Amino acid sequence: MDIREKVKKLPLSSGVYIMKDSLGTTIYVGKSKNLKSRVGSYFMNSKTRSPKVIKLLKNLKDFEYILTDTEFEALLLECRLIKEIKPRYNRQMKTPKGYRYIRIKMNEKYPSIDMCIETNNDDNNLYFGPYTSKNTVEKAILGIKEHNKILCTNAARKISGCLKYSMNLCIGMCENEAFKEYYDGVISKVIKMLNGTDLTILKEIEERMEKASENLDFEAAVKCRDDIKAIKYLIDGTKIINFIKNNINIAFIEILNDKEIKLFLIRYNKVIFTEKYEISKLNVYEVKLKIKKYFNNSLKQIINIDKNDIDEIHIIYNYLKSKDSIGKYMVILNDWLDNLEDLSFDKAIKEFIKIKE
């Protein structure tokens, strides 16, 4: 069948499409809440196509697709397939080796801040992340160090002064031990910022940017703006990871149509159970039994978010927190027994799916 004819027969529902070359090798995986519209867009005459899409279409000989009930499932499936297959033209999902952590070496007299690929739970250092953009992490670390003037290049502290000190980028730890207290205070603020509890450093850079703008020092203002953007990236990453760590069990319901809903039970970054229900036949008590069965004994577990988890975590967080909340209902069930036995749980579900008593 001609590939354009195949596109015309695609359904309007959500799913994942898998593009293949003449050898049957998967070269691209994508997702959409409307497969026919999305895949069809590749074949429209357009002068705005990117070089990547032009190359993709030259190699495209066939495609397959997998239907999903919701866009949420399509997002997760796309992520999994890209990781498994590693198609040539997919760039948004990196291999775990591409992720980076921020490391603070707490065993040093002057705890240093740097970037690393792996964590080590036995070295007493602090680790934050993982983060998906190496370049942004580098910019953020440099911006933090420059703002607080802790760019000392004399690590051994055996000589007087350093190059950065002469450039006014180092407070002078190598000149004066009295700066140790200031340095420790900076490290404390950095740790709190990366934990999401103190944004003092970010606010200080924002104030510096405003002052630079007022003084028409646009180069300095642009530098501050770029530093702020990079640091906010770190803070947003912390927010997403903390959301998953603090909200262990999530029951998530989405309306499929005027007759059906779908229940998702999510633990950490994994969907552990899904089931469709007819609204007219829904028994809230049965839903509660399902939740108890799958979430039992999962409370109070300590988890470590590693590089293999981060893509799914971003998908879950962004989908559940999206502004388009029509047709979605989420219940955080960290204390699941209390929540389930509370009549408000029954009432909320019934109101959400408009079940009449």
CATH number at residue 26: 3.40.1440.10
| Tokens representing residue 145 in the block | 């160090």
Residue 288 resides in a domain: yes
pLDDT digits (tens, 9 = 90+) for 265-304: 888 778 888 999 888 887 877 877 887 788 775 554 555 6
Residues 232 and 265 in one domain: no
Whether the per-residue pLDDT at 354 is higher than 90: the answer is no
pLDDT digits (tens, 9 = 90+) for 218-251: 999 999 999 999 999 999 888 888 887 776 777 7
Residues 227 and 292 in one domain: no
| Residue 179: predicted pLDDT | 75
Residues 298 and 335 in one domain: yes
Confidence band of 255 (pLDDT split at 50, 70, 90): confident
Residues 103 and 240 in one domain: yes
Q: With CA atoms as reference, report the closest residue to 240 among 295, 306, 321.
A: 321
Residues 75 and 111 in one domain: no
Q: pLDDT exceeding 70 applies to what percent of the chain?
A: 76
pTM exceeds cut of 0.75? no
Distance CA 180, CA 173 (A): 7
Residue type at position 299: L
Contacts of 98 (CB under 8 A, 6+ apart): 132, 134
Residues 111 and 208 in one domain: yes
Residues 221 and 231 in one domain: yes
pLDDT digits (tens, 9 = 90+) for 312-342: 888 888 887 775 544 555 555 544 444 555 5
Q: With CA atoms as reference, report the closest residue to 52 among 24, 30, 22, 74.
A: 30
Higher pLDDT, 180 or 350: 180
Distance CA 87, CA 89 (A): 6
Higher pLDDT, 247 or 256: 256
| Residue 322: predicted pLDDT | 73
Of the ranges 39-48, 62-71, 105-114, which is most confident? 62-71
Residue 357 resides in a domain: no
Q: Which domain holds residue 287?
A: 247-352
| Residue 180: predicted pLDDT | 80
The DSSP secondary structure of 155-218, one letter per residue, reads TT--SS--HHHHTT-B--TTT-GGGHHHHHHHHHHHHHHHTTS--HHHHHHHHHHHHHHHTT-H
Domain boundary among 222, 245, 268: 245
Residue 43 resides in a domain: yes
Domain boundary among 195, 216, 245: 245
Domain boundary among 37, 72, 92: 92
Residues 210 and 239 in one domain: yes
The DSSP secondary structure of 240-300, one letter per residue, reads HHHHHHH--EEEEEEE-SSSEEEEEEEETTEEEEEEEEEGGG--HHHHHHHHHHHHTT-TT
Whether the per-residue pLDDT at 209 is higher than 90: the answer is yes
The total of structural domains in the chain comes to 3
Confidence band of 178 (pLDDT split at 50, 70, 90): low
Residues 164 and 297 in one domain: no
- Overall average pLDDT of the 200-213 stretch: 94
Distance CA 275, CA 73 (A): 12
